[in-house]
Amino acid sequence: MKLYPSHGTHALIGVACGCFALAACNPPPNPATPKGLYEVRAVYDSAFLAPAAHYRSLGLCAAGVKATVAAPCADPVVVAKLQKADAAAKIALDSAKTFILANPTLDAAAYVSAAENAVSSATQIITLYGIK
């Protein structure tokens, strides 16, 4: 068992410190910008909202009936989850937009992060249920 880092480890630490130093001098583009949020919303629309709406358009399955390839329908329980996720994502996206546009010089990272999390949760439902 090694108690001390090898030369290779030192090299990695050096590279990491160098990268950190460079990042400090040239920070990456701030995602909490109107453009960044616009892209998050565009992806949300197409990765969640469009397939969710398509799923709902299949019509609700009758009680006790399961969807088949020949007779597709939308499970009311899944539709309810999609609706709830969309409502949460819309609130987060709208809040982030309102804050960013009203406060262009303030840090909006928390708002954008909340929006990204809500979008991620919503799209996970799409993936989980194989909605197309």
Q: Interface with another protein includes 26 (CB under 8 A)?
A: no
Q: Interface with another protein includes 51 (CB under 8 A)?
A: yes
- Taking CB under 8 A as the binding criterion, the range among 7-15, 20-28, 50-58, 105-113 that sits at the site for another protein is 50-58
Q: Which is nearer to another protein, 6 or 68 (CB)?
A: 68
Q: Which is nearer to another protein, 9 or 83 (CB)?
A: 83
Q: What is the DSSP string of 101-128?
A: HH-TTS--HHHHHHHHHHHHHHHHHHHH
Distances (CA, A) of 42 to 36, 75, 123: 10, 26, 13
Which one of 83, 103, 117, 120 is in contact with another protein (CB under 8 A)?
Answer: 83
How many helices (H) and strands (E) are present in the chain, helices listed first? 5, 0
Q: How far is the CB of 128 from another protein (least distance, A)?
A: 17
Query: What is the rounded distance in angstroms from the CA atom of residue 68 to the CA atom of residue 60?
Result: 13
Q: Which is nearer to another protein, 6 or 127 (CB)?
A: 127
